Amino acid sequence: MDELNTWRTRSRKPLNVLARVAVLATVLLAMPRAVLPPLEVGPQQAVETQHPITCTHTRLTDEVEPWKILRTLELVREMGAPTVVEYFPWAYYEPEAGLYDFAAAELRIDLAANQGVGVIARLGGIVPSWARPQNADGTPGPDTFLPEEHFPDFADFVAAFVERFDGRLAAIILWNEPNIALEWGFRRPDPEAYTRLIRLAADRAHAADPDLIVLAGALAPTLEPEGSDLALNDLVFLERMYAAGAAEVLDGLAVHAYGLSFPPDDPPAPDALNFRRVELVREVMARYGEGEAPIYVTEMGWNDSPRWTRAVRPGVRIDYTIAALAYAEAHWANVPAVCIWAFRYPAPQRSYGDYFTLVTPEFVRKPIYDAVRAWAVEDLWP
């Protein structure tokens, strides 16, 4: 298989390596300093859509070049999505306690506004190193580990973010998937502790902007039982959140609703992970008097990787995605946005995750993008 040879590591002869390093150094020394052209932002745009429920989760967090951020948001607008979810990791914006640098967030939110696209800001995720516990060797601990003594610091960050973007946010989401250990510092998920965190943060957010919609972090759909160190069933976690008083400070919920290999109208059941699990979330909300509060489906979708067992064929993915958007629009009250994960990654992941996207890192629109656009803008079904 000759083709494999192009991928193989060549023998690393020291002189060969040194010669390459020397040539590279010479080129770098001789190269003029790169100057990026200024970003040309056009006139104010508006999203044209027949289905404003259409939304997508962008991944602009790690996008470096401003023109790519703008191009992404242009494509979102052209697809007929008036809203995006975007992630703003705490650690990126408060590198030292009390020292905020919101320039990167400003660029993203300004460009979205220019395209007429509203931003639901997901706050949290990566904890700054100064707020994490230390490992035994003195290095910072897991980057999703927020000790309770630093909960007020997160609330300070949320307040600062909301004050900075006062009136320019569609909603905020506090943390992400706190019911899995991965997002909770590799500790056993703790609904009561998470509720104490969001009570602090939501109060500060509302104090900064009383009209802002504050959502709890979406839970990861999972069937993990009580006592598991890995995760906790999302419905159980939610029940315990409400029992701990979460409803008193929240304006609604963010929910994740992946279809996996099931069609969008697959009926909900406590032991099933599917798109309509959202309806079970609504039942829990209703038990605590929150049956009319909005649900934002901030991640949803199907995967069409040939390698992943929970994926579907590409054509099926297209059909399911459009059908799910239409189902939510027709059957679910108070669901303002259903957001497809994910619009585009800045770089290929080289894993099945690449098969969740609508647009490639090179801005090539996949057929699913065209299908969503045709439905949202022209009301055409695939």
Contacts to another protein by CB under 8 A: 1-4, 7-9, 14, 17-19, 21-23, 25-26, 29-30, 304, 306-309, 313-315, 317-318, 349-352, 360, 364, 366-368
Residues 158, 172 contacting (CB under 8 angstroms): yes
Shortest approach of another protein to residue 162 CB, angstroms?
31
Of 125 and 191, nearer to another protein (C-beta) is 125
Shortest approach of another protein to residue 235 CB, angstroms?
22
Shortest approach of another protein to residue 186 CB, angstroms?
11
Of 6 and 44, nearer to another protein (C-beta) is 6
Of 29 and 103, nearer to another protein (C-beta) is 29
- CB-side neighbour CA atoms (13 Å) of 326: 17
Of 143 and 203, nearer to another protein (C-beta) is 143
Residues 120, 337 contacting (CB under 8 angstroms): yes
Short-list 339, 320, 340, CA closest to 382: 320
Shortest approach of another protein to residue 17 CB, angstroms?
7
The answer for residues whose C-beta is within 8 angstroms of residue 89's C-beta and 6 or more apart is 61, 124, 125, 126
Shortest approach of another protein to residue 242 CB, angstroms?
30
What are the CA-CA distances from residue 164 to residues 103, 215, 225, 251 (Å)? 11, 18, 40, 20
The one-letter amino acid at 226: E
The answer for residues whose C-beta is within 8 angstroms of residue 365's C-beta and 6 or more apart is 75, 358, 359
Of 30 and 333, nearer to another protein (C-beta) is 30
Shortest approach of another protein to residue 115 CB, angstroms?
24
The answer for residues whose C-beta is within 8 angstroms of residue 135's C-beta and 6 or more apart is 141
Of 21 and 269, nearer to another protein (C-beta) is 21
